[in-house]
Amino acid sequence: MNIQDLIRPTIKALKPYSSARDEFQGNSDDMVFLDANENPFNNGVNRYPDPQQRTVKSLLSKIKNIPQKNILLGNGSDEVLDLIFRAFCEPNQDNIITLPPTYGMYSVLANINAIEIKSVQLDDSFQPKVDEILSIANANSKLLFLCSPNNPTGNSFEAQSIEKLITNFKGIVVIDEAYIDFSNAKSWASRLSEFPNLIVTQTLSKAYGMAGIRLGICYASAEIISVLNRIKPPYNVNELTQQKAILKLEQHELTQEQVSDILEERDALIGKLETVDFISKIYPSDANFILAKVDDATKRYNQLIEKGIVVRNRTTQPGCENCLRITIGTREENEKLIKILLLISKS
């Protein structure tokens, strides 16, 4: 498979913007920097940030055991996903494949970029229908999105199915691992060298507790990373975000402790949700949320709002009729949720 054949011609021909910090990379304190028209008076953010976010990447590289040349960072996964569209999908010509019910951004980005969406609904166990997916793909199918663990269903896809898709799909397979840190499954990022058409995305928004700083991560071959680097805005990850991310990644054990606390709370919450009589099914979760089937999702959603609790009503998603998606909160928040669910089940 030749990745170069999948890249849009305009992107291949592009001469990227070269920023002041790209042209001179040293950052020794005794240099005088008069190259970027910055204000010289120090306030912590008067200088442009590192366009390659080298300190953040070196920490991530150690934690995830992935070489820095295989990492690209963005303003949330949303920017990373948008860069992938713009690198590979020719507007009004190419298409992508999504597997609903899944994360809504893939089709929003496809629509923004004038890319056709082909979709194959997950089966009754929310697993991909591998043969059907491969049979609807054509020469213009550039991206296949696999979200595992999947949002809003919470389950991981079977490794065998994922591997068959990566091996047989003729475009790029993007595995969205936003929830991987809550799962026992191994990240597909550890297998990049086997699959030239694989992109794995992760984020600091969920397990790392940093949704507010907007830091998305992309792992791929050095060849794909260099294409995405050509089109990313030079300073796409701002200085404050880089500083916060560095502090957080330096305390990786704290993140791991919070993840185990959340998983313990999730399991306790599942036990209690089973005692609520209008909940008929709780789907298996590999993530920090639970999908639950109720008698009337819109009615229960509104009752919860009235009592001060906001969950996500997923009833309009294919295969999720009368389903609510509930994020795991703190112990106190989860106890309040159960108290109110039991209260409204009596009314």
Ligand X SMILES: *Cc1c(COP(=O)(O)O)cnc(C)c1O
Residues that bind ligand X (CB under 6 A): 76-78, 103, 147, 151, 176, 178, 203, 205-206, 211, 216
Cα–Cα dist 330/258, whole Å: 10
Radius of gyration of the chain (CA): 22
Q: Which amino acid, one-letter code, is at 262?
A: I
User: Which CB sits closer to ligand X, 21 or 314?
Assistant: 314
User: Which CB sits closer to ligand X, 7 or 109?
Assistant: 109
Cβ atoms 213, 244 nearer than 8 A = yes
Question: Of all residues in this chain, which one has the CB nearest to ligand X in the complex?
Answer: 76
From the CB of 51, what's the least distance to ligand X, in Å? 19
Cβ atoms 210, 245 nearer than 8 A = yes
Cα–Cα dist 155/139, whole Å: 30
Beta-bridge partners for 252: none
From the CB of 159, what's the least distance to ligand X, in Å? 18
User: Which CB sits closer to ligand X, 103 or 283?
Assistant: 103
From the CB of 150, what's the least distance to ligand X, in Å? 7
From the CB of 153, what's the least distance to ligand X, in Å? 11
Q: Which helix (H) or strand (E) holds 198?
A: strand 198-203
User: Which CB sits closer to ligand X, 303 or 317?
Assistant: 317
From the CB of 176, what's the least distance to ligand X, in Å? 5
From the CB of 201, what's the least distance to ligand X, in Å? 7
Tokens of residue 210, six digits = 């940093």
DSSP string computed for 149-210 = S-TTT-PPPPHHHHHHHHHH-SSEEEEE-TTGGGSSSPPGGGGGGG-TTEEEEEESSSTTS-
User: Which CB sits closer to ligand X, 88 or 289?
Assistant: 289
User: Which CB sits closer to ligand X, 21 or 208?
Assistant: 208
The residue with tokens 């993840």 is 259
From the CB of 342, what's the least distance to ligand X, in Å? 29
Give the pairing type, strands 116-119 and 323-327.
unpaired
Give the pairing type, strands 141-147 and 172-176.
parallel
From the CB of 9, what's the least distance to ligand X, in Å? 29
Beta-bridge partners for 220: 199
User: Which CB sits closer to ligand X, 109 or 137?
Assistant: 109
Cβ atoms 110, 85 nearer than 8 A = yes
Tokens of residue 225, six digits = 């990373």
Distances in Å between the Cα of 194 and the Cα atoms of 6, 114, 118, 188 are: 18, 31, 27, 10
Beta-bridge partners for 325: 291, 312
User: HSE of 181 in the Cβ direction (CA atoms, 13 Å)?
Assistant: 22
User: Which CB sits closer to ligand X, 126 or 341?
Assistant: 126
